[in-house]
Structure 1
Amino acid sequence: MFRLVKTVGVIIGYAALATTKLNEMDRKKDLLPTVNAQDKYISLMAKKWAGRILDSAGVIVEVSGDNQNDPQPVLFISNHEGNFDIPVLVHAIERPFGFVSKIEVKKIPFLDDWMMLLNSIYLDRSNRRSSLQMIKDGVASLKAGHNLLIFPEGHRSKGQGLQDFKAGGLKIAKSAGVDIVPIAISGTSDIMEKYNSRRMVPGHVKVQLLEPIPASVFKEHSLDEVGQIVRERIAHALES
């Protein structure tokens, strides 16, 4: 319980402190020459936040695969095990990126401002118009040079195995004409979800950045087929 309370304190305290610097960071990023450089600058604070959370929780992250900060925008597609997926991925991935996140996150104090500065997008799953707007916003963000990450399972698996993928989010990559980078993450559910989020234990998490799937895949495959290709690659990586 002590570790859980300590980590929650780090999350709230550091988020509150970092929020005071938002306006200054927003102003300074505009002085940088490229979108990628601007996003990388903004992500530095998020990475510090994520690193402190992982340190307080005793989480070690092992990263494999091509983790270069390539300026070409991509859509990251990751499985979703547990609550720690977000700080782990922010910490692990060198490219700056925003999340496609459920609308409920918008209500969390301090977090909404950061989500917006990271070029994240909200989705209200109960509203079909929101889904259409999410795709439109996602395409615009990718075309502007930002990276995005989605969890196509739609919810945490909590260590119960890879769930079905919803292919709708793939419309973002198809319409924007960007590559897809599958990500396999494992071990986060062992930190909290195994104990119904009432406890927190140290853990070892693996993040595998898999071979990119070129945008041309949509010329030969439907959205559902591409979703299955991505899911199979992630499933294979989780089994290895």
Structure 2
Amino acid sequence: MRTVIIYIFEVLYLMRHSITIKQINRTYKGRPIEEKDRRVYSQARQWARQTMRLAGTKVSIKGNEKFPEGPVLIASNHQGNFDIMALLGYLEKPFGFISKIEVKNIPVVRSWMEAMHCVFIDRKNRKQALAAVQKGIHYLEEGHSLLIFPEGTRNFGKGLKPFKSGGLSMASQANVPIVPVALEGTYRVMEDNDGKVKPAKVEIQVCDPIFPEEYKDLPANEVAEFVKKRITEALEMMEGNVQPLPKKTFIASESREIQG
């Protein structure tokens, strides 16, 4: 029953607020990019947080204060279908994301994602995929932040799959920081339950950003491993397998928990 309620809520919310997108486009035309992005993002955040509440999911997040000013490329591990809701609901940095091109065929969803400067990619069409990457670079250069899942597909909480370097190359070409983000527990909301939504605990850790001067001279595959290593370390900390980092890189007192 919970699963059905969530599907109905998502459809009704997006349809009800689809007109909001048109209003925002008119109101914020010609105004700073950051203002419009935050306004659009606030609507997406409400939708995402309410979805997590309906799922009975408690979300805790640490490290939002680590986001630098300006556009960034966020790189997260990919555990399940609720990753986007968790990240949209609780990351304080407005962002669009890379999505499979099939989503573009859903009218109401498409208008929201276009307003958020999401990028639709067809991995089966190399020419289109390259064009999508160029569009992502353009968005970053304009001042919009983007989120990618370097694994490409969900890992269902069973370790990390290899990180692909293609999407990460957008950061170097746009000369923006990469911010690794570690997600733990989203697969327990749906994937662990044969597609049914059940309550779960989700943790998010925003890692220290990797600035262009740190990665610009590294080969693409080493950049991917650099990002993967940082996420791996954060996941291990969540599991309690390693000691916390020194205070200068991880300040527990500055972290906070948000009830989903």
TM-score scaled by structure 2?
0.88
Report the more deviating stretch, 63-72 or 94-103. 63-72
Confirm or deny: 8 A CA contact 2:80 2:191 kept in the other structure: yes
Q: How does 1:172-183 map to 2 (within 5 A)?
A: 172-183=170-181
Hey, what's the Cα distance between the residues in 1 that align with 2:171 and 2:148?
A: 11
Mapping 1:9-20, distance limit 5 Å: 9-20=8-19
AA at the equivalent of 1:226: V
2:7 maps to 1:4: no
Per-residue deviation at 1:78?
A: 0.4
What is the 5 A alignment of 1:148-163?
148-163=146-161
Say what the alpha-carbon RMSD is for the aligned residues: 1.3
Kindly provide the amino acid, as one letter, of the partner of residue 15 in structure 1.
Answer: L
Quote the Cα distance in structure 2 between the aligned partners of 1:180 and 1:69. 10
Distance in 1 between residues matched to 2:162 and 2:107, nearest whole Å: 31
1:213 is aligned with what amino acid?
A: I
Q: Report Cα offsets for 1:111-133 as digits up to 9, x if no partner.
A: 11000000000110001112211
**Hey, what's the Cα distance between the residues in 2 that align with 1:218 and 1:21?**
39
TM-score (norm. length: structure 1): 0.95
CA distance in 1 between counterparts of 2:141 and 2:107 reads 30
State how far apart, in whole Å, the 2-side matches of 1:221 and 1:30 are. 39
Map of 1:81 onto structure 2? 79
- Amino acid paired to 1:12: V
CA contact (8 A) 1:102 1:123 kept: yes
Separation in 1, partners of 2:17, 2:103: 18
Is it true that 1:119 corresponds to 2:117 in the alignment?
yes
Aligned to 1:136: 134
Query: Do 2:66 and 2:206's aligned partners in 1 also have CA atoms closer than 8 Å?
Result: no
CA contact (8 A) 2:2 2:198 kept: yes
Change in 2 beyond 3 A, CA 1:82/1:35: same
Contact kept, 8 Å, 2:66 with 2:207, in 1: the verdict is no
C-alpha distance in 2 between matches for 1:211 and 1:118: 24
Code of the residue aligned with 1:165 in structure 2: it is F
Matched, 1:94 2:92: yes
Q: Which of 184, 190, 193 is residue 192 of structure 1 equivalent to? A: 190
Aligned position for 1:58: 56
Q: In terms of mean alpha carbon deviation, does 221-230 or 59-68 score higher?
A: 59-68
Instruction: Give the structure 1 partner of residue 24 of structure 2.
Output: 25
What is the distance in 2 between the residues matched to 1:122 and 1:144? 18
Extract unaligned runs of 5+ from structure 1: none
With 122-131 and 213-222 compared, the bigger mean Cα shift is at 213-222
CA shift, 1:213, in A, is 0.3
CA distance in structure 1 between the aligned counterparts of 2:59 and 2:106, rounded to whole angstroms: 26
Q: Is the 8 A contact 2:80 2:156 kept in 1?
A: yes
Match in the other structure for 1:42 = 40
Q: Give the aligned partner of residue 253 of structure 2.
A: none
**Aligned pairs, how many?**
237
Amino acid paired to 1:23: K
Deviation per CA, 1:23-72, whole angstroms, max 9, x where unpaired? 1121112264x211110011111011111111111111111013367541
SS at match of 1:76: strand
Write the distance in 2 (CA, Å) between the matches of 1:129 and 1:200.
Answer: 37
- Residue identity over aligned pairs, in percent, reads 38
The alpha carbon displacement at 1:218 in A equals 3.2
Question: In structure 1, what is the equivalent of residue 166 of structure 2?
Answer: 168
